[in-house]
Amino acid sequence: MNKTKIDFKKLIITIITFFCSIAFLLPFIWMLSTSFKIEADVFNFPIQWLPERWNAASNYKEVWFGDYPFYLYYWNSIKVAVLTTLVSCTVSSLAAYGFSKVRFPAGKWLFFIVLATYMVPPQASLVPQFLLFRSMGLFDSHLGLILLGSFSVLGTFMLRQFFMGIHTDLIEAAKIDGAGHWKIFWIIALPIVRPAVATYAILRFIWTWNDYQNPLIFLRTDSLYTIQLAMQKFTTINGEFYTLMMAAAVSAILPLLIVFIIGQKQVIEGIALGGVKG
């Protein structure tokens, strides 16, 4: 078939699917348009997809600099998500290298212990975790939150698959040249698996950013709240002001959406890889 020629059947299916996708995204479109409206126009019917009376500036100003200032929670969320991602990537890639490229007798046993913890649903260990963190002084602190998200079995397992793909000859050659494991890890192995680490980093960032349960349980002080927790508190306080709630929701979703659209290929490949390994 000629490539420049448009397949008519395909075009029609594309258009139909496109309308389905718009219908699928209507809640987002409604959220966005409501966040620009004045309160009185929220429930007008038929639905005004384009606001007639604009109030965007004032709505977003209230969300970002009002009683529950989102700029503060943004900063908290960025701090927690970035640090969690950094620590988690470091810990996971170190462990992944150790479990794949260093041969030591206890290795299998230790890997077994790490893998076994994957069977535990996170909520099943929640209560003792809370007791432990409280006694260690990690309750109500960002450090505690960061530690909670930093030890990912799935991350270690995923990166280990990639380290195992590095040929042993390469490692052996470096050893003969007198390089130690640390040097091999840093100069040879890590650069090879860098794309995998980047994919894992994006996923970890998204998961941490969207996490609601851990902040809810492990944070108490208002000024430490992450964006998800603040979003929920903001809703409870401003329950009658739907435009403000939608402006807050847009604010909570948008930055991650941008990260996602930029890193789209990596996220989708990462998710697919997490599910299906060829």
Partner 1 sequence: MQTLSVGVVIELLQIINYLLLNGVRQMKENMDIQPAKKRITKVKLKKKNSIERNESIAGALFVLPMLIGVSVIVLMPIIATFILAFADWKFVAGWDQLKWVGFQNFKDLLGDKVFVKSVINNAIFILTVPITMVVAIVLAVIIDKYVYMKDYFKVAFFMPYISSVVAIAVVWQVLFHPSQGPINQVLMSLGIENPPTWIADPNFALISVMLIHIWISIGFSLIIYIAGLQSIPKELYEAAEMDGANAWYKFRNITLPLVSPTSFFLLVTGIIATFKVFDLIAVLTAGGPMHSTTMLVWHLYKTAFINLEIGYASAIAVILFLFVFLITILQWIGQKKWVNY
x/- mask, partner 1, residues 19-38, rule CB under 8 A, reads --x--xx-xx-xx--x----
R_g (Cα) of the chain, nearest Å = 24
By CB under 8 A, tell whether 126 contacts partner 1: yes
Q: 223 or 236, CB closer to partner 1?
A: 236
Apex CA 204: angle with CA 26 and CA 83, to 5°?
120
**Out of 89, 196, 197, 246, the residue judged to bind partner 1 by CB under 8 A:** 246
Q: Which residue of 40, 53, 71, 131 would you call a contact of partner 1, by CB under 8 A?
A: 131
Query: Residue 222 carries which DSSP code?
Result: G
CB of 61 to partner 1, least distance (A): 19
Find the binder of partner 1 among 40, 53, 75, 122 (CB under 8 A): 122
Q: Contact region for partner 1 (CB under 8 A) — 53-61, 65-73, 164-172, 226-234?
A: 226-234
CB of 163 closer than 8 Å to CB of 101: yes
Nearer to partner 1, 36 or 185 (CB): 185
Binders in 34-63 for partner 1, by CB under 8 A = 34, 42-43, 45-47
Can you tell me whether residue 244 is helix, strand or coil? helix
- DSSP letter string over 82-148? HHHHHHHHHHHHHHHHHHHH---TTHHHHHHHHHHGGGS-GGGGHHHHHHHHHHTT-TTSHHHHHHH
For residue 277, state whether it binds partner 1 (rule: CB under 8 A).
yes
- The reply on whether position 112 binds partner 1 by CB under 8 A is yes
Query: How many residues lie near partner 1 (CB under 8 A)?
Result: 108
Cα dihedral 239, 243, 249, 255, rounded to 10, equals -150
